[in-house]
Structure 1
């Protein structure tokens, strides 16, 4: 019932847009969108990559805070906060993603901020403020962006200093104690250079609320600062940026979905009974509320993180046809993130993710424009160090009792270092006046060194005192060298109308799964190899200037080899903690289609519509370590249908302009893990957003709402049925409404 109405509204919107009249608009020119998908400024219509650009101003007006909300604007993309805000987000594009919350792993979707790689998934949680544009590149980007871009790449571009002296201050107030202060100041130093400062301070409570009487209110306070400089002379330009962030609060409380009908007999509930909220965990706990957003958990779980770094981009003009670009970037992140994994007032599963990462990367590129082509070649270097100081306290409630044989605190300290050297080149050849061929190749050599040390705290049954014992110590190295590349054909029908075919492949590097390992044997097997993806894509990019319309579409087919799969695997020992594995276990086939439409039927009206369809995203022959066949199971976090859109209308009122927008994002059902059970499944849902912006002279007021109809959905349901008789429920964000008032000077 709850899905029928939103889906019908979505279908009505789709049909309505399809039937919109197409007619010429006098004196109206559709905007030419500039993208950096090939590491240089180009028209969106000239690039043989499926790209969805999202303007920073659109994100700000929609109340979007960070990178985890990008999926609402991009077809066939899903971004989840996974194991609560503060842990690595899970980015999935066209069925390719990694759902592991472990802070040692990398995503198969690369992210770049101002041209520099952010490295592991820890750094992919980026707050949006003073942003120029975000580009989502779909499919392998192995030539220009290299390792860990098998699913695609997300390019975030901050607003850079420019000519003029001006600024803006914005204050925001909203539901659930939402408070925001943001500001920006740009100043010209002289005719050749300028500086810019941007800051953001946001504080809020979570829309999930806690019924536990002594638990503190869950909230987050985030402060971010960015300082930048840009100078441009005859042959030289320099961009310098430094950034700092400080986040602190109490993490969003996790819910418990019980799956036990009778704790005495151990009788299980069906998936439908569990979803009704009437079942318990193995201890007989139920949160006692019918409110989806209510939980009951001893959530005294603090989060604290500090991030800082710099980026430098230097461009030198060698001649009228050639130039060099050097990018140097460094970042450091220190984070402590406590968690509660039993979702109850009991001390059955608690812990902390302690983390320090240091990332240094350099890229040197040579650009050369020829009479019939364009060459980009370069060298890339990356050095990332990850230090983990984690623990997981299991079944403390049973410590020292006759049922406490599985009770222990696992403490694991991992040091993982990744070193990468790569060389790449891509050449675009104007073969004929209407046909361009693209050839690209990249060679990467990488080494991952790991030192994993673990201790275990248990109760000595003789003295009944806590003792700490060595658990395991594993030292190793994982070396990879690989080739990735691209071949594409662009055929121009007429100006701004293009057909293309591309073959691209990508490699996600191997590594060491430094997550929660519950046995020495598991630690010895935590080393995993690289995965590879070959992608075929046929697409079109059509821009109709007279009708003020842009239409992009693509068909894609993926052959996924040696796929790295995170498995939350039940233990063969009854009542023991599950095994959490990351292994190369399967090949997969993925194919689908997508289409994006932008249309301005009149100067005041804008229509956007995106449709994504992935009918097949399944494992090939695959049997898990317990002998369970998962062949033909659908890949996690992969909806069959994804439909999104927005309608904006602006008109003059008094001496100002009012622009009103309404948008939606529909996802059909998907599974949270490889087991494909109805317990760990998200039913189809639609999220609506709304904003009304009124602008007069130097003032702007913007009323915005996210999840307008308070749709109930989860970021992740982590299956702990065989351990605690429940599922961890990481709930999404409920309705949030806010008002921002800005002044420009």
Structure 2
């Protein structure tokens, strides 16, 4: 039986098998077999199939590091959106870096992008049913009614439409089926968290079926805001997806329509002063920041000793997001050896996010307004020629982004005559037009019964045309068109891949891979405060040479599986989000920060001694993650560690199934750990997050084949941690923080029909 969860899991419901199997490809050493040697034929083992190379293949034939997660496990983990997927894969981190409702920060093997500006293209792409995410605004999406997810680590360019240097996440929806059925699932948890999701599947005729899925949730954040009159922070999200599939003769058609709507109050920030003696400008030790012993530049300390209590001026802060997408997927099999697939997609996105970055005052506040229109067309050709297999494609993308942002600095000073010259409010009206045209191809050629060569090549032509405008408002005057800039960043590049797959035995394979990654330049439409800063916001392309050696092994009885990967990345002109922390006004911009080096290792074990018990362990280790040398004015960065890149990541989980006189119990317990990280390029102890671990668990009672009752928990031991620490010492005498979510316990009832 093929198991798309990636391992033999316990049969716990009539839906997909429960489970998670992260396949970590890795470092192992062996002697190349001679061409005339044959593989030893043993008893058949379960075939684990993946889509990592754009078609369904045995994972032992794939030279890509991939983690596979089935949809049932996603539901059991109570994973809310794509940002939380990082917990499932080693050397993958993600956070809502500037609060939920802004662009998330995704980092894979040290390659990532911390940038709250919507103009940025992430080096990690998310593909929803073959549709690429596009701009940063599209990276965060709700997780519901999915059949499976595959997380691909390393440069992905010779098989996928949009070129990425970090990796790709493939979200695969549950497809329409020939039988009527569905489910409904509802959950209630702490923080006034309510969630209902479900799906209904119905056949229309023998060749056509329809599936409608929905997800609704309403929740509050753990952070309690005690500012008088401040609204309770939380979000309501509603999503749906409609899929229509049809087959006739040699044709297949899939029509996809989806929509997401968000509205709520953003999570309030925590403003932690850094001065022990404000008059003498003496700083608190980093360990005391966040306590009442430290004050900010205005003499204010934190309002409470409780970690999840703050005082923030969020009276008018709101988030509203509306997005929808439609796509048509058409494929035709011209012969058993030759197939052509076309994917046409259109997406629309509109978001208004009002933010506060200073806590109780009105010193640094603003607005992020984004309106995006996206169109992509991809044509892929699959050709099997004996034992040789070709994949080739043509890709076109066009995305237009309109930004209506504002930055309001020191508004509270407007009422103070002596300080009235300080406040300023900037209004930004930026437009960016991104275009990408690419052709790519990949060949898989057996060299012997044990060796297969993979060779891929890609030609990419990308451009970003931008117009950046700003008006300035002060107490004394209003200055329209403080700047009005036009420009274009364009580049054309060849990239490629060479890999060798060595099948040592039926249970053990090695692969050796080299990839040349590339990410185009662009314009960083952020919060500049002068024409010089605005002109300085254009950046060039980055390049990545990625070397990797990997291994997959499993025991003869398939009880134990062990996968490893070792990789070395050589960066040129690395794009890095630089924080200029010395000025009074905050200034952050994406720049090419020289040449960087990354070296790391990944390994995962899965052990299932019997049908009742299963143990999993995934380990990621990146001892070297150097940021390239960068100098501008008084700022100099050399050989610092890449932000958002922990040295260690670890995920461990256990599940045990127990039969009862009535029904079954499934026990699940796990922990996710990451070591310390820095949130900017300075490696300051004030912006360092110490290592932490988050425990999760679930106890499910399947009363009948169709009905299940479960209790679940996230952050069970109430671990204190931050999603972001931002250096606001020059402006506010404080470290601005977004703190993670506290313990949450919930109960869930699900029914399948």
TM-score of the aligned structures, taking structure 1 as reference length? 0.93
Q: Are 2:601 and 1:593 equivalent residues in the alignment?
A: yes
Contact preservation (8 Å) 1:540, 1:554: yes
The residue that corresponds to 2:243 in the other structure is 228
The residue that corresponds to 1:436 in the other structure is 452
1:329 is matched with which residue: 329, 342, 345? 345
Q: Are 2:748 and 1:740 equivalent residues in the alignment?
A: yes
Q: Are 2:708 and 1:692 equivalent residues in the alignment?
A: no
1:303 is matched with which residue: 299, 303, 319? 319
Offset of 1:318 from its aligned partner? Answer: 0.8
Offset of 1:654 from its aligned partner? Answer: 2.1
1:439-485 CA distances to partner (integer Å, 9 max, x unpaired)?
0000011111001110011011xxxxx63433111111111111111
Contact preservation (8 Å) 1:61, 1:702: no
1:516 is matched with which residue: 527, 533, 537? 527
1:411-443 CA distances to partner (integer Å, 9 max, x unpaired)?
101100101110000000011111100000000
1:318 is matched with which residue: 334, 345, 360? 334
SS in 2 for 1:126: coil
Q: 1:406 & 1:326 partners in 2: Cα distance?
A: 56
1:674-698 CA distances to partner (integer Å, 9 max, x unpaired)?
1110000100100110011121221
Offset of 1:727 from its aligned partner? Answer: 1.4
The residue that corresponds to 2:620 in the other structure is 612
SS in 2 for 1:459: coil
Offset of 1:240 from its aligned partner? Answer: 1.0
Offset of 1:506 from its aligned partner? Answer: 1.2
Q: 1:145 & 1:407 partners in 2: Cα distance?
A: 48
Contact preservation (8 Å) 2:470, 2:480: no
Which consecutive residues of structure 1, in runs of 5 or more, have no partner in the other structure? Answer: 1-27, 461-465
Q: 2:411 & 2:46 partners in 1: Cα distance?
A: 61
The residue that corresponds to 1:85 in the other structure is 100
SS in 1 for 2:97: coil
Instruction: Return 94-103 or 576-585, whichever deviates more.
Output: 576-585
Q: 2:45 & 2:683 partners in 1: Cα distance?
A: 44
Q: 2:635 & 2:426 partners in 1: Cα distance?
A: 28
2:130 is matched with which residue: 109, 115, 118? 115
The residue that corresponds to 2:185 in the other structure is 170
Q: 2:565 & 2:705 partners in 1: Cα distance?
A: 42
Offset of 1:273 from its aligned partner? Answer: 2.9
Alpha-carbon RMSD: 1.5
1:381-419 CA distances to partner (integer Å, 9 max, x unpaired)?
000111100001100011253234331011101100101
SS in 2 for 1:48: coil
Contact preservation (8 Å) 2:303, 2:309: no
Q: 2:660 & 2:137 partners in 1: Cα distance?
A: 46
1:649 is matched with which residue: 642, 651, 656? 656
The residue that corresponds to 1:355 in the other structure is 370
Offset of 1:501 from its aligned partner? Answer: 0.2
Offset of 1:296 from its aligned partner? Answer: 0.6
Q: 1:560 & 1:353 partners in 2: Cα distance?
A: 31
Q: 2:202 & 2:46 partners in 1: Cα distance?
A: 28
Offset of 1:624 from its aligned partner? Answer: 3.0
> Any runs of at least 4 consecutive aligned residues in structure 1 with deviations exceeding 6 A, and if so which?
none
Offset of 1:275 from its aligned partner? Answer: 4.6
Q: 1:324 & 1:471 partners in 2: Cα distance?
A: 52
Offset of 1:214 from its aligned partner? Answer: 0.8
Contact preservation (8 Å) 1:571, 1:579: no
SS in 2 for 1:624: strand
Q: 1:252 & 1:424 partners in 2: Cα distance?
A: 42
Which consecutive residues of structure 2, in runs of 5 or more, have no partner in the other structure? Answer: 1-42
Offset of 1:148 from its aligned partner? Answer: 4.7
Q: 1:422 & 1:547 partners in 2: Cα distance?
A: 42
Contact preservation (8 Å) 2:420, 2:475: no
The residue that corresponds to 1:503 in the other structure is 514
How do residues 663-682 of structure 1 correspond to structure 2 at under 5 angstroms? 663-682=670-689
The residue that corresponds to 2:76 in the other structure is 61
SS in 2 for 1:212: coil
Q: 2:600 & 2:150 partners in 1: Cα distance?
A: 21
Offset of 1:144 from its aligned partner? Answer: 1.6
Offset of 1:70 from its aligned partner? Answer: 1.1
TM-score of the aligned structures, taking structure 2 as reference length? 0.92
Instruction: Return 269-278 or 626-635, whichever deviates more.
Output: 269-278
How do residues 484-563 of structure 1 correspond to structure 2 at under 5 angstroms? 484-563=495-574
**Cα 1:224–1:640, aligned 2, differ >3 Å: closer, same or farther?**
same
Offset of 1:235 from its aligned partner? Answer: 0.5
The residue that corresponds to 2:228 in the other structure is 213
